[in-house]
C-alpha cells in the first residue's frame, strides 16, 4: 500500500501558517488498484497515477471516496476525464456532491485559490448503503458505512493487514463532528471501529495515527458528554449561551491539547472543539427534553 500526503499551506487568510495535510491511499492488489480518496484537485491525482503507473499493468483501477468533503474528493474528475474508473462511495456522498451547497463551496474556493481552477464536481458512480466488499484475490477491502464526522462517511477495513483506514472518523488532535445530527452516530461508529481491534489505524489528517488515537478520540468525546450531562443537570443553556459551549461545560481547548507536543492548526481545532461541544450539548438536550 502507498500513502500520498498532500500538504496545503493556508490560503484563506488564516494567520496560522501550519496549513493542512490530507492523505490518500493506493492499494495494489493482485487484480485491482484501489485509490482511496482523490485529494484536492485532478492534478493531485495525475501525480499519484504517474507515480504508480509502472505498477498498474492490466489491473482494474477503482476509486473510492471516503466522504464528500472537498479535501477528499475534488480530484474525482481525473477518473472521468483522464483515466476512466468507477468511483465507489456511500449514496449520501453522491447526493452531497450533486447538491447546490457543493457547487457553491467550489465556487467560493475557486475565488480563494487558483489551485482549484481545474476542479469539477464528479459524483461517485457506484454507491452503497451499509457495506461493500472489493474482493481482490490478494486481499479484500471492506468499505463500511461509518457516519459521524458527516452523514456520508465510510471507512475501509483490510482484514488481511489488520488495517483500518479511518479517514476523518479519527483525527489528530481531535475528531470533528461536522453535522450535529450525526453526534450519536459518531459515538456508535467509534465504538464499532474500536471493536475491530485493528493493529494499524490510519487517518486522513494526523500523520502518525495509531489504534491508540481511535481510543483517545472516543475518550475525548465521552469526556465532553460527561461534562455536558453534569452541566445540563443544573442549567439549560440559551442559544446565546451555547455559542460559548466549551466554557459552559468547563472544558477549555487548552485542556484538550495540554499533552500534545506536535504543532497543529490551533485556529481550526479550537473551533472544531467548540463545534463538538455544541453538537453534544444539543444532542443531550434533545434526548432529555
Query: Of 272 and 277, which CB lies nearer to Zn ion in the complex structure?
Result: 272
Query: Of 19 and 252, which CB lies nearer to Zn ion in the complex structure?
Result: 19
Q: How far is the CB of 268 from Zn ion (least distance, A)?
A: 11
The runs of H, that is alpha helices, within the chain are: 42-56, 70-73, 91-97, 100-112, 183-194, 211-234, 239-242, 245-248, 253-256, 266-288
Return residues touching Zn ion (CB under 5 A).
69, 71, 168
Return d(Cα 153, Cα 93) in angstroms, integer: 8
Q: Does residue 131 contact residue 145 with C-beta atoms inside 8 Å?
A: yes
Contacts of 22 (CB under 8 A, 6+ apart): 5, 6, 8, 37, 39, 40, 71, 72, 204, 205
Q: How far is the CB of 205 from Zn ion (least distance, A)?
A: 6
Q: How far is the CB of 72 from Zn ion (least distance, A)?
A: 6
What is residue 166's DSSP assignment? E
Return d(Cα 252, Cα 231) in angstroms, integer: 14
Query: Of 44 and 69, which CB lies nearer to Zn ion in the complex structure?
Result: 69
Return d(Cα 25, Cα 80) in angstroms, integer: 19
Query: Of 152 and 168, which CB lies nearer to Zn ion in the complex structure?
Result: 168
Q: How far is the CB of 170 from Zn ion (least distance, A)?
A: 11
In sequence order, the β-bridge partners of residue 7 are: 21
Alpha-carbon Rg for the chain in angstroms = 19
Q: How far is the CB of 37 from Zn ion (least distance, A)?
A: 9
Query: Of 69 and 92, which CB lies nearer to Zn ion in the complex structure?
Result: 69
Count other C-beta atoms under 10 Å from residue 164's C-beta.
29
Locate 145 and state its grid cell: 458505512
Q: How far is the CB of 171 from Zn ion (least distance, A)?
A: 8
Q: How far is the CB of 66 from Zn ion (least distance, A)?
A: 8
Query: Of 204 and 278, which CB lies nearer to Zn ion in the complex structure?
Result: 204
Contacts of 193 (CB under 8 A, 6+ apart): 146, 155, 164, 166, 169, 170, 214
Query: Of 38 and 231, which CB lies nearer to Zn ion in the complex structure?
Result: 38
Amino acid at each position: 500500500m502507498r500513502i500520498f500526503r498532500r500538504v496545503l499551506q493556508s490560503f484563506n487568510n488564516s494567520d496560522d501558517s501550519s496549513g493542512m495535510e490530507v492523505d490518500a491511499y493506493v492499494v495494489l492488489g493482485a487484480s485491482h488498484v484501489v485509490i482511496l480518496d482523490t485529494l484536492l484537485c485532478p492534478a493531485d491525482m495525475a501525480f499519484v497515477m504517474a507515480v504508480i503507473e509502472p505498477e498498474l499493468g492490466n489491473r482494474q483501477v477503482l476509486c473510492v471516496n471516503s466522504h464528500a468533503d472537498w479535501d477528499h474528493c475534488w480530484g474525482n474528475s481525473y477518473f472521468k476525464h483522464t483515466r476512466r474508473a468507477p468511483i465507489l462511495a456511500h449514496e449520501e456522498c453522491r447526493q452531497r456532491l450533486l447538491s447546490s451547497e457543493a457547487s457553491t463551496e467550489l465556487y467560493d474556493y475557486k475565488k480563494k485559490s487558483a489551485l482549484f481552477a481545474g476542479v469539477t464536481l464528479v459524483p461517485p458512480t457506484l454507491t452503497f448503503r451499509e457495506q461493500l466488499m472489493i474482493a481482490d484475490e490478494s486481499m479484500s477491502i471492506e468499505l463500511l458505512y461509518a457516519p459521524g464526522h458527516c452523514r456520508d462517511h465510510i471507512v475501509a477495513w483490510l482484514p488481511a493487514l489488520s488495517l483500518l483506514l479511518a479517514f476523518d472518523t479519527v483525527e489528530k488532535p481531535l475528531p470533528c463532528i461536522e453535522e450535529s445530527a450525526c453526534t450519536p452516530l459518531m459515538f456508535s461508529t467509534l465504538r464499532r471501529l474500536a471493536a475491530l481491534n485493528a493493529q494499524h489505524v490510519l487517518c486522513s489528517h494526523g500523520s502518525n495515527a495509531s489504534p491508540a488515537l481511535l481510543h483517545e478520540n472516543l475518550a475525548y468525546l465521552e469526556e465532553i458528554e460527561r461534562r455536558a450531562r453534569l452541566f445540563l443537570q443544573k442549567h439549560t443553556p440559551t442559544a446565546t449561551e451555547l455559542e460559548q459551549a466549551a466554557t459552559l461545560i468547563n472544558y477549555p481547548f487548552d485542556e484538550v491539547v495540554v499533552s500534545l507536543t506536535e504543532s497543529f492548526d490551533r485556529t481550526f481545532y479550537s473551533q472544531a472543539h467548540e463545534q463538538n461541544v455544541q453538537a453534544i450539548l444539543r444532542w443531550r438536550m434533545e434526548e432529555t427534553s
